[in-house]
């Protein structure tokens, strides 16, 4: 962990170097992934089954890839009633939040001779990628499937690798609760390729969302355009802005909740109170010892943990807007005073009782957020990601007569006569 | 042009093969473009000026790249008053339509102890790419700049190459009318790189939109993630659905307005009336002779023009939804009857008096539309492309007490103890 002063000469460059993490997948990964995609695209199920045998050590034919009704029932039987209730609670709250994002089709009638509008249509079929194995996250299933369901997507296909044949029961239960229609036990670049192009068994989807390792992320990037994808996620990060108020123990816990995700995760505190910063540093050290995932959290904190002291809240806010954090905690006395000044952040956690973990699971907003500074231009995953729009244009003859001369004029400027003629033919006589 | 019957054996495959056009840029183009990006990224203005000299034959230093006030004044002086009025009219109508797309930030107050919301923030600075040279399109400037302006973007930077030093006055006038703040005479991959990474002279932007050749499109794809981009556009296309009503001469003109764009453009008519289809075919031949851009339009029509006869309107609609056309004309008696059945289309032109050209210039909706079947998941360029969202979460202590146990429970399922502790610490007295 580095303790920096925002007034230090070259602070911006120093900070940037500090939190600089992996860029892009290399060309090598890209070539391997492109090879897998080409195989699945040309040979379909045959290639998909081969790769699944090879990478996941699962011996089955294409028909055996789909999770059966019996497997779902076993999963429900295996899950503790209290856990089931918690997952239901999460689905319900996430649903309620995303309902508010729904947009309606509209048609303007303010002109009597021209009507214009926008038709909102759910994507027909989407694919959700869920990482498999032991570290399976039912919350990922919920955060991807619920917005799709709320958007009105007719068929939600989930893929999750089942290394050695095992699927996490919480993930299966979450899939059912969140409205997933079919689940296939496939993963990696081969699963992304199957969703993008379709095979005999796996239906082609219109968009693929959900997190994955570098092979999955690269595959999504390579099929983009053939199918829609959500943003390409990098390592996760948190920035906490503090004014000296609140409890260092809480802030330390929040920083560590980020650090325990991944050795590449980054946790940063900027405070106007040097003493508060020092107490947080001490608390982090103390709490690290108590964590089961201490090794990961320590690596992350040592490599990418930073505590910064700034003179003023303005400096802290301007710093935050420059780095555009994925998670931003406003751990200050009056968070709503600051809210309008925040221009770049994936999610904003207000005040002393809104830890990031609340947003990760069940507050309601999506936990799929733009990372690595991309909150400058990307938004959280939302219902918007599962609909597309079509413009609607309707001219009467009178409407075309009213504005037609200017259409012809601009077509003329652009040297596109056939454009002009398609209008003028309709206006003659 | 091919005249097909939808009942022919293997129709779908035959049609797909027929309209199949270029896929992706090759690896070669990608390597050239990556080289240019790397140079501009590491050497800034120096490299930018070198490439501009080389590719656009413009001799000037970095300071000379920006269009001056005097140049804008010359452009206004050079433009005919009627043309200026037509461009103003277009800006005004496009503005009025896009105003309706604006979304508000919101905060829910339905729970007394937890408030959730979404903050909508305009991107701070965007870059608009406008192809240069003789074939300059002021409508492109309007369609890209107006949504950004309406969204509230503070600084709109336009780049347009000026081969041999010349810039089209209509493009400069359109830029001013549409609210562009600064214009630079640069183009190609080097302009995209400069916008994505910034140089001493060109400010870094948060998103790059606008059409360009294969080098520009490849550059946008390669900088995606560093900066936002709009969709990657392929060759343009139109599909006309007809029920035998209307005038074959009009439909032929519409098909040709698409064909004149580009030799790779595709124009397709599907009609339930064979005789109508035949009359359109004859009309296209007749009109082709009258077009200044006959060579381009003829090449496009011969290679990618198709007239299809279907037995029923249902078949025609289902075909249209399968191919997800960029432009869809419903040249039928009752277009509103069909509208709800259209699931995939960039823009829908309703009835016999709404030629595609109306939408290209000044009806109001954007003319930047998803091509090549991507209307399955992409939307027209809109105000949404120039804002991003941040989730807002605010818990009181009571709110966290109310739902905290379930957060802890799910964190437990996922094996993330630091997450659980960030909640439970706050609940212990």
Q: List, for residues A78-135, the tens digit of each pLDDT value.
A: 999 999 999 999 999 999 999 999 999 999 999 999 999 999 999 999 999 999 865 6
Chain A residues close to B138, C-beta within 8 Å = 410, 413-414
- Residue ranges of alpha helices (H) inside B123-273 are 138-151, 169-178, 188-197, 214-223, 248-259
Residue A230 to residue B136: CA distance in whole angstroms:
33
Can you give chain A as a three-state secondary structure string? CEEEECCCCCHHHHHHHHHCCCCCCCHHHHHHHHHHHHHHHHHCHHHHHHHHHHHHCCCCCHHHHECCHHHHHHHHHHCCHHHHHHHHHHHHHHHHHHHCCCCCCEEECCCCCEEEEEEEEECCEEEEECCCCCCCCHHHHHHHHHHHHHHCCCEEEEECCCHHHCCCHHHHHHHHHHCCCEEECCCHHHHHHHHHHCCCCCCCCCEEECCCCHHHHHHHHHHECCEEECCCCCCCEEEEEECCCCCHHHHHHHHHHHHCCCCCCEEEEEECCHHHHHHHHHHHHHHHCCCCCHHHHHHHHHHHCEEEECCCHHHHHHHHHHHCCCEEEEECCCHHHHHHHCCCCCEEEECCCCCHHHHHHCCCCCCCCCCCCHHHCCCCCCHHHHEEEEEEEEECHHHHHHHHHHHHHHHHHCCCHHHHHHHHHHHCC
How many other β-carbons are positioned within 10 Å of the β-carbon of residue B69?
Answer: 7
- Which chain B residues contact residue A423 at CB under 8 A? 355, 357-358
CA distance B255 to B288: 11
- Strands B228-229, B207-209: pairing kind: parallel
Of A346, A403, A418, Cβ closest to residue B293: A418
**What are the φ/ψ torsions at residue B206 (nearest 5 degrees)?**
-90, -20
Whose tokens are 């029932």? That residue is A73
Entry field: residues in chain A: 429
pLDDT at A132: 80
Chain A: closest CA distance from residue B217 (Å):
12
Cα separation of A113 and A385, whole Å?
A: 33
| Other C-beta atoms lying within 10 Å of the C-beta of residue A339 | 18
Element (H, E) at B329: strand B327-331
Report the 10 Å Cβ neighbour count for A95.
17
The answer to whether the Cβ–Cβ distance between A342 and B135 falls below 8 Å is: no
Q: Tell me whether residues B97 and A90 touch, CB distance under 8 A.
A: no
Determine the average pLDDT of the residues in A148-177: 95
Positions of A annotated as catalytic residues are: 326-327
**Structural domain boundaries of chain A?**
2-22+235-364, 27-229, 396-427
Residues of B in contact with A177 (CB under 8 A): none
* A338, A348, A399, A422: best to mutate for the B interface, most B CBs within 10 A: A422
Chain B interface test: which of A377, A380, A424 (most B C-beta within 10 Å): A377
CATH number of A2-22+235-364: 3.40.50.1980
Q: Which of A350, A414, A418 has its CB closest to that of B256?
A: A418
| CB of B375 closer than 8 Å to CB of B108 | no
Q: Which helix (H) or strand (E) holds B422?
A: helix B417-427
Closest CA to B190 of B167, B223, B156, B157: B223
Check B287 against A249: CB less than 8 A apart.
Answer: no
Neighbours of B21 (CB within 10 A): 16
Do the chains contact at B89 and A403, CB–CB below 8 Å?
A: yes
Q: Known binder of ligand: residue A300?
A: no
Interchain contact, B417 vs A348, CB within 8 Å? no
Contact B409 A227 (CB under 8 A): no
Domains B2-22+234-364 and B27-229 share a fold: yes
Choose the mutation target among B239, B422, B423 for the interface with A, i.e. most A CBs under 10 Å. Answer: B422
Name B271's bridge partners: B242, B309
* pLDDT tens per residue, range A220-252: 999 998 999 998 778 889 999 999 999 999 999
Q: Is A213 labelled a binding residue?
A: yes
Read off the pLDDT of each residue in A157-167 and give the average, rounded to a whole number: 91
CATH code of B2-22+234-364, in short, is 3.40.50.1980
For residue A354, list chain B residues with Cβ-Cβ distance below 8 A. 393-395, 400
Q: How confident is the model at residue A22 (pLDDT cuts 50, 70, 90)?
A: low
Digit-by-digit pLDDT tens for chain B (429 residues) are: 999 999 999 998 889 888 877 655 577 898 999 999 999 999 999 999 999 999 998 888 999 999 999 999 999 999 999 999 999 999 999 999 999 999 999 999 999 999 999 999 999 999 999 998 656 799 999 999 999 999 999 999 999 999 888 889 999 999 999 999 999 999 999 999 999 999 999 999 999 999 988 899 999 999 998 999 998 778 889 999 999 999 999 999 999 999 999 899 999 999 999 999 999 999 999 999 999 999 999 999 999 999 999 999 999 999 999 999 999 999 999 999 999 999 999 999 999 999 999 999 999 999 999 999 999 999 999 999 999 999 999 999 999 999 999 999 999 999 999 999 999 999 975
The distance from CA B129 to its chain's CA centroid, rounded to whole angstroms, is 11
- C-alpha distance from A67 to closest chain B C-alpha (Å): 21
CB contact under 8 A, A124 and B351: no
CA gap A36, A30 in Å, rounded: 10
Q: Which residues of A touch B100 (CB under 8 A)?
A: 106, 108, 118
CA distances from B191 to A98, B64, B184 (A): 39, 15, 9
Binding-site residues of B, in ranges, read 129, 190, 213, 236, 258, 261, 327, 360, 414, 419
How many whole angstroms from its chain centre is CA A381? 5
How far apart, in Å, are the Cα atoms of B274 and each of A4, B289, B312?
A: 77, 24, 12
Instruction: Report ipTM for this prediction.
Output: 0.96
pLDDT of residue B132: 80
Cβ–Cβ of A362/B257 closer than 8 Å? no
Distance CA A194, CA A197 (A): 5
pLDDT for B134: 59
CATH class of domain segment(s) B27-229: alpha beta
A354, closest residue in chain B (CA to CA) = B395
A108 contacts on B by Cβ (under 8 Å)? 97, 100
Q: Which residues of B touch A249 (CB under 8 A)?
A: 425
Distance from CA of B4 to the nearest CA of A (A): 25
**Measured distance CA(A365)–CA(A94) in Å, rounded:** 6
What is the tens place of the pLDDT at every residue in A277-298? Answer: 999 999 999 999 999 999 999 9
Task: With CB atoms and an 8 Å threshold, state whether B422 touches A369.
Answer: no
Give me the active site residues of B, please. Answer: 326-327
């Amino acid at each position: 962990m580095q303790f920096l002063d925002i007034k230090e000469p070259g602070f911006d460059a120093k900070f940037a170097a500090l939190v600089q993490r992996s860029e892009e997948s290399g060309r090598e990964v890209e070539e391997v992934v492109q090879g897998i995609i080409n195989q699945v695209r040309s040979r379909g199920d045959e290639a998909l089954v081969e790769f699944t045998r090879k990478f996941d050590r699962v011996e089955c034919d294409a028909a055996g890839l789909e999770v059966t009704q019996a497997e779902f029932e076993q999963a429900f039987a295996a899950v503790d009633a209290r856990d089931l209730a918690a997952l239901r609670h999460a689905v319900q709250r996430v649903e309620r939040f995303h309902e508010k994002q729904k947009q309606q089709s509209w048609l303007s009638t303010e002109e009597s001779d021209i009507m214009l509008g926008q038709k909102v249509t759910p994507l027909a079929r989407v694919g959700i990628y869920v990482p498999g194995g032991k570290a399976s996250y039912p919350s990922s299933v919920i955060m991807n499937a619920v917005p799709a369901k709320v958007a009105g997507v007719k068929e939600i296909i989930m893929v999750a690798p089942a290394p050695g044949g095992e699927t996490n029961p919480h993930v299966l239960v979450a899939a059912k609760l969140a409205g997933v229609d079919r689940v296939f036990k496939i993963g990696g670049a081969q699963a992304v390729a199957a969703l993008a192009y379709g095979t005999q068994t796996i239906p082609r989807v219109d968009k693929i969302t959900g997190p994955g390792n570098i092979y999955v992320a690269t595959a999504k990037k390579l099929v983009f355009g053939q199918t829609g994808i959500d943003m390409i996620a990098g390592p996760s990060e948190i920035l906490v802005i503090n004014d000296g108020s609140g409890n260092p123990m809480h802030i330390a816990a929040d920083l560590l909740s980020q650090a325990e995700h991944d050795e590449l995760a980054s946790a940063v505190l900027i405070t106007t109170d040097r003493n508060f910063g020092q107490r947080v540093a001490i608390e982090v050290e103390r709490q690290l010892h108590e964590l089961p995932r201490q090794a990961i959290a320590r690596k992350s904190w040592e490599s990418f943990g930073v505590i910064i002291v700034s003179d003023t809240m303005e400096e802290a806010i301007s710093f935050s807007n420059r780095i555009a954090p994925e998670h931003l905690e406003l751990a200050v006395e009056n968070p709503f005073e600051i809210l309008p000044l925040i221009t770049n952040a994936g999610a904003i956690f207000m005040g002393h009782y809104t830890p990031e973990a609340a947003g990760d699971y069940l507050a309601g907003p999506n936990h799929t957020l733009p990372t690595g500074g991309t909150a400058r231009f990307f938004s959280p995953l939302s219902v918007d990601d599962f609909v597309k729009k079509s413009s609607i244009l309707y001219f009467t003859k009178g409407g075309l007569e009213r504005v037609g001369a200017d259409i012809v004029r601009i077509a003329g400027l652009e040297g596109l006569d056939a454009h002009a003629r398609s209008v003028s033919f309709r206006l003659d006589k």
